[in-house]
Amino acid sequence: MTDNVSTHEAEEDRRNADILIWVNGALTHRAEATVSVYDSGFMLGDGVWEGLRLYHGRWTFLEEHIDRLFEAAKAIDLDIGMTPAQVIAALEETRTANDMQTDAHARLMVTRGVKRLPFQHPRLSTKGPTMVIIMEHSKPKLPRPIRLATVPHLRGLPMTQDPKLNSHSKLNCILACIAAEKAGADEALMLDVHGFVNTTNACNFFIVRKGAVWTSTGDYCMNGITRQKVIDLCHANDIPCYERNFSLVDTYGADEAFLTGTFGAQTPVSEIDGRTIGSGEMGPVTTRLRGLYKDLVGA
Ligand SMILES: Cc1ncc(COP(=O)(O)O)c(C=O)c1O
């Protein structure tokens, strides 16, 4: 298929050609910003990251993102070597240096750092962590509602690389995305180990049936901040919302489906495994939730 789209497509912005990247405290033009080939992140995917968005001078849900970053770092026994306040200061320094006021996206990455030898053992990372902040001018661009395909790659059990971890290594998700693309879809719909519909390879997943919003129990997916905000918005606005197990039968028969993530907020889904979902266009509940969310973040 030639017209596959990514759910993370952004409008072209020439200013991004000259952005400054924060690498371990130094701001460097993107053309010169590098990390070592011995870096644990490059070599092994050994690190954690967050994606944040800036609207009108404010990092959306900053506290939640910083909490999740530190929680993930603790889980992989990685000492970030900075306080949450210092991490926020680094974000702000990068934002100011790039003169960004709104519609910016930050990818904040922390790895176990440069290794002494090119092998796996974490003790070989002797130089302290590597932190990088890539911040781009970013307006999501979605040419049409997206198409999903279910794939054989599962969301695993928590004891095999907990799917809640925003780890650098995303190979399971990437393999899922490749399989979906080869099936003619834009993104992969992933099942959990019991066969219930769980999430996509890069976003959380919701369906709407008879005016009620359904999402997975949350057991096998990223604890998405946007996911939680959508659930909270439903509760606050008398939209029935259930975190529950559901199957592909429930999904194909849904009136609407959408994805959530910091980048795209709520992304409508038109088709899953060749079945049109509802009218194939963005439905009324998705539209309403997008409006409520936009108001919440002040976009
Ligand atoms: C696999 C996966 N699911 C969902 C999300 C969405 O999470 P959030 O809403 O916090 O951006 C992400 C984003 O990092 C992700 O990597």
Claim: this prediction has a pTM higher than 0.85: yes
pLDDT tens-digit map of 55-66: 999 999 999 999
Averaged pLDDT, 208-227: 97
215 Cβ closer than 6 Å to some ligand 1 atom: no
Model confidence over 123-173: pLDDT tens digits?
A: 999 999 999 999 999 999 887 899 999 999 999 999 999 999 999 999 999
Alpha carbon of 261 to ligand 1 centroid (Å): 5
Pair type for strands 204-209 and 26-29: unpaired
Please give the pLDDT value at position 266: 96
Give residue 108 CA to ligand 1 midpoint distance, Å: 13
Decide: 166 in ligand 1 pocket, CB within 6 A: yes
Mean pLDDT score across all residues of the chain: 96
Cβ-contact 22, 133 below 8 angstroms? yes
- Kindly list the structural domains of the chain, giving each domain's residue range(s) and its CATH number in brackets, ordered by start: 14-137 (3.30.470.10), 146-297 (3.20.10.10)
Residue 76 pLDDT grade (very low, low, confident, very high; cuts 50, 70, 90): very high
242 - beta bridge partners?
A: 214
Helix (H, G, I), strand (E, B) or coil at 216: coil
Pairing assessment for the beta strands 146-150 and 256-261 based on DSSP bridges? unpaired
Cα(116) to ligand 1 centroid in Å equals: 32
pLDDT of res. 7: 83
Distance 169 CA to ligand 1 centre (A): 14
Q: If you average pLDDT over residues 48-55, what whole number do you get?
A: 98
Q: Out of 162, 205, 222, give the residue to mutate to test ligand 1, the one with the largest number of ligand atoms within 8 Å of its CB.
A: 222
**Closest of 152, 198, 199, 148 to residue 176, by C-alpha:** 152
Per-residue confidence (pLDDT) for residue 4, from 0 to 100: 81
What's the pLDDT score for residue 1? 44
